[in-house]
Amino acid sequence: MDLHIVIDRNEPLGEQLLRQLRGLIRSGRLATGTQLPPTRLLAQQLGLARQTVAEAYERLTLEQLIEAGRGRGSFVRALPAGEGPRPAATPVRLASAERIAAFQALPVPLLRFADSPLARWDFVGGSPEPALFPHEDWRRHLHAAQRALGQGGAHAPPAGHTALREAIAEHLAFARGVRCTAADVIVTQGAQQAFDLLVRVLAGPGDVVAVESPGYPPVAGLLQAHGARIVPVPVDAQGLVTDALPPEAKLVYTTPAHQFPLGVAMTAARRRALLSWAARTGAIVIEDDYDSEFRFEGQPRDSLQGLDTDGRVAFVGSFSKTLAPSLRLGYVISPPALRDALLNAKHLADVHGPSLLQHALARFMAEGNYRKHLRRCVAEYARRRERLMAGFADTLAPWLRLLPAEAGFHQAALFMPGLAIDGTQLAALARRVDVGLYPLQAMGAQQDGLLMGFGRIPPEGIEQALGRMAELLGAAA
């Protein structure tokens, strides 16, 4: 271990060493339990006598900052009671203070949820079951991709690995009716980067952007960070209320297949009305198709992009819900008019994505493993959804009403009128009994209710968790 210590030969050497080591420990830069270099090694590194280093270590031991064991070495101790790491430095005056403060004030409720550990039975939304990940197939394709890259394979271009873009275009044409070729696909690091690129290119300070209300908080945060003027547009049982769209909007964000967080699907009439409005006003529509691969009822609905004949829809998808969030792989199907601008923005953002993962995913999809994996996931999530619906129809019927949803692995539940408890209160109580709940109000909903994701809870766990919720609600009522 090399310590950053600078020795000035014009000052007492032992005092310099002691002062700097003491400062490293008290500031927290050397954490509790960190092993210090042996005295002989540190003396060689700094050009000091070994006795000088040994005396500094002895002083630190007397000050209870380090402890030494024969044959074990010297380790940083926990700071004595009443003494902690130095407080943060006094804020300095910055020319960009207003911008910094604006980012610090951004609403990021999902980040707060993500920072909290999952409960034993956690109804977190948008989180797939890790046990369903196809480890063996993925490992095989990852090794093959690694061998290919090791033999001189080039890194992926800004738009993404060609074979992966071809596989995505083929899959979307088959599964979602999207009209595109590989040239229209831009591979991104998750859907969030796709949103970021679209907002960078399309929305500047003061530009009006329409978003669903309630809706997906990270998109609203992006727009606020870029200074756009956000206009919330209500959602009803038919999806986005197109009659409420502001005529001056340059951009519209929507989740038509499975509205986040309410779960409703946009009707065919509303889809046609939205596309007609976009063609008339010249606006671009961002279609977030985040989890429509998991369909449980009825026939698949046409994507907005597949219905679009004017090049107004940017279709965004992700492998975070279908495979694993840790892959950080998503994509945007760009309208022709935006493609070059989005590619330039992508190149400036990260030059290119993770080549190894893109090569592996391309092979995984080309061999049919992705569709096989989706069929397995749909069957498993269908069982969990049935348990959730049965529990709300029985155990929780006096207190909550589950909203219908055709696809995706979350549903929204609304409290019955007159109930003297709200979602935030219930979530706090549920944590005490190891159940994770998420209030709709955190997503901007006016209705009081809960987002009930069932991706992370096995069927038997759903029954136990709903039983505990019923006990809490019964006691509160």
Strand partners, 35: 75
Give 131: exposed, middle or buried? Use CB within 10 Å, 0-12, 13-18, 19+: exposed
Q: What are phi and psi of 445, to 5 degrees?
A: -75, 140
Kindly report, residue by residue over 149-190, the tens digit of the pLDDT.
887 666 778 999 999 999 999 999 999 999 999 999 999 999
pLDDT higher at 10 or 253: 253
92 — pLDDT class (breaks 50, 70, 90): low
Distance CA 281, CA 401 (A): 38
Instruction: Provide the pLDDT for residue 151.
Output: 77
Quickly list DSSP for 127-192.
Answer: ---GGGS-HHHHHHHHHHHHHHHHTTPPPPPTT--HHHHHHHHHHHHHHH-----GGGEEEESHHH
Instruction: Please provide the distance, in angstroms rounded to a whole number, between the alpha carbons at the two ends of the chain.
Output: 60
* H helices present in 288-409, as ranges: 304-307, 339-350, 355-366, 369-393
Percentage, residues of the chain above pLDDT 90: 71
The pLDDT of residue 238 is above 90: yes
Distance CA 199, CA 217 (A): 14
Kindly report, residue by residue over 239-263, the tens digit of the pLDDT.
999 999 999 999 999 999 999 999 9
The pLDDT of residue 386 is above 60: yes
What would the mean pLDDT of 352-380 be, rounded to a whole number?
Answer: 95
Pick the closest to residue 17 from 78, 77, 89, 50 (CA basis): 50
Strand pairing class (284-288; 313-318): parallel
Instruction: Provide the pLDDT for residue 397.
Output: 96
Q: Pick one of 3.40.50.2300, 3.90.1150.10, 3.30.565.10, 1.10.1530.10 as the CATH number of 109-125+372-476.
A: 3.90.1150.10
What would the mean pLDDT of 21-28 be, rounded to a whole number?
Answer: 88
CB-based contacts of 398, cutoff 8 Å, min separation 6: 416, 473, 477
Angle separating helix axes 369-393 and 162-176, nearest 10 degrees: 40
CB-based contacts of 15, cutoff 8 Å, min separation 6: none
Determine how many CB atoms are found less than 10 A away from the CB of residue 229. 15
Kindly report, residue by residue over 195-223, the tens digit of the pLDDT.
999 999 999 999 999 999 999 999 999 99
Angle separating helix axes 190-202 and 339-350, nearest 10 degrees: 120
Distance CA 246, CA 32 (A): 57
Residue in the block written with tokens 């959804």:
385
Dihedral sign of CA atoms 9, 10, 15, 21 in order: negative
Q: Which CATH architecture has domain 13-76?
A: Orthogonal Bundle (1.10)
Determine how many CB atoms are found less than 10 A away from the CB of residue 410. 26
Quickly list DSSP for 88-144.
Answer: PPPPPP-TTHHHHHHHHT---HHHHHHHSPPPSEE--TT---GGGS-HHHHHHHHHH
C-alpha distances out from residue 113 to 83, 125, 440, Å: 32, 10, 13
Pick the closest to residue 291 from 317, 315, 326, 252 (CA basis): 317
Instruction: Provide the pLDDT for residue 150.
Output: 82
What would the mean pLDDT of 375-384 be, rounded to a whole number?
Answer: 96
pLDDT higher at 369 or 61: 369
Distance CA 472, CA 388 (A): 17
The pLDDT of residue 87 is above 70: no
Instruction: Provide the pLDDT for residue 373.
Output: 97
The pLDDT of residue 32 is above 60: yes
Lowest mean pLDDT among 106-120, 139-153, 267-281, 357-371: 106-120
Q: What value does the mean pLDDT of the chain take?
A: 91
What would the mean pLDDT of 229-245 be, rounded to a whole number?
Answer: 97
Kindly report, residue by residue over 430-466, the tens digit of the pLDDT.
999 999 999 999 888 888 999 999 999 999 999 999 9
The upper half-sphere exposure of residue 343, i.e. CA atoms within 13 Å in the direction of its Cβ, equals: 17
Kindly report, residue by residue over 390-405, the tens digit of the pLDDT.
999 999 999 999 999 9
69 — pLDDT class (breaks 50, 70, 90): confident
Kindly report, residue by residue over 129-158, the tens digit of the pLDDT.
999 999 999 999 999 999 988 876 667 789
Same fold for the domain at 13-76 and the one at 133-367? Answer: no
Q: What are phi and psi of 74, to 5 degrees?
A: -110, 135
Kindly report, residue by residue over 300-340, the tens digit of the pLDDT.
788 999 999 999 999 999 999 999 999 999 999 999 999 99
Highest-confidence segment of 110-119, 275-284, 351-360? 275-284
Distance CA 373, CA 345 (A): 33
Pick the closest to residue 239 from 259, 220, 214, 253 (CA basis): 259
What is the rounded (10 degree) CA torsion for 468, 472, 475, 476? Answer: -160
The pLDDT of residue 86 is above 60: no
Distance CA 240, CA 287 (A): 12
Domain ranges of the chain: 13-76, 109-125+372-476, 133-367
Counted residue by residue, the chain has a size of 477
Instruction: Provide the pLDDT for residue 91.
Output: 63
Q: Which CATH class is domain 133-367?
A: alpha beta
Instruction: Provide the pLDDT for residue 63.
Output: 85
Instruction: Provide the pLDDT for residue 144.
Output: 94
115 — pLDDT class (breaks 50, 70, 90): low
Q: CA-based angle 139:143:147, to the nearest 5? A: 170
Strand pairing class (410-415; 449-453): antiparallel
pTM: 0.82
CB 416 within 8 A of CB 400: yes
